[in-house]
A = this chain, B = another copy of it.
Amino acid sequence: MAETTHFMDLALAEAQAASFRDEVPIGAVLVLDGRVIARSGNRTRELNDVTAHAEIAVIRMACEELGQERLTGADLYVTLEPCTMCAAAISFARIRRLYYGANDPKGGAVESGVRFFNQPTCHHAPEVYSGMAEMESAEILRGFFQGKRGE
């Protein structure tokens, strides 16, 4: 439990760092055999890449690092419920466990929206643990968008 909290803290730090870069503050960390193999915040603005959500960013980094297309046995920590695109990517990458913070009823796809992991067209579903650091995750997002409205 202490270990999962530690990894989620790293994801929160990535979310905070994304906020300072003026990116929507969501952070993700990918762990394999107890070792962090990739960590990133959302990078859509930095890379001009609409697909560069934090989850996709760490999956790409880890695939490149390991020289393989799949991440069987890896665990993903992310501060917000993954969207439809990311949920499918998590499935394709064969992620073992997904830990996430805040729910996202508007855009999420795990417990919200299309609930991708429960669908017949989902051919691999991770174990899902939600609600970790939920308040902190949501607070970073709330603060960011409040700041935006104030600009």
- Interface membership of A135, Cβ < 8 A: no
Residue in B67, B88, B106, B119 whose CB lies within 8 Å of A48: B67
Residue in B49, B59, B84, B93 whose CB lies within 8 Å of A116: B84
Q: How many residues in A have their beta carbons less than 8 Å from beta carbons of B? A: 39
Copies of chain A in the complex = 2
Which residues from B are CB-within-8-Å of A48?
A: 63-64, 66-69
- Interface membership of A51, Cβ < 8 A: yes
| Contact digits for A103-135, partner B, Cβ 8 Å, 1 yes 0 no | 000111100111010011111000000000000
| Contact digits for A53-86, partner B, Cβ 8 Å, 1 yes 0 no | 0001001100110111111000000000001111
**B107 A50 Cβ-Cβ under 8 A:** no
Q: A51-B60, A113-B120 are in contact. List 19 more A-B contacts (CB 8 A).
A: A45-B69, A48-B66, A48-B68, A49-B63, A50-B63, A50-B69, A50-B71, A50-B89, A50-B93, A83-B88, A84-B87, A84-B121, A85-B88, A85-B92, A88-B109, A107-B121, A107-B123, A109-B121, A114-B121
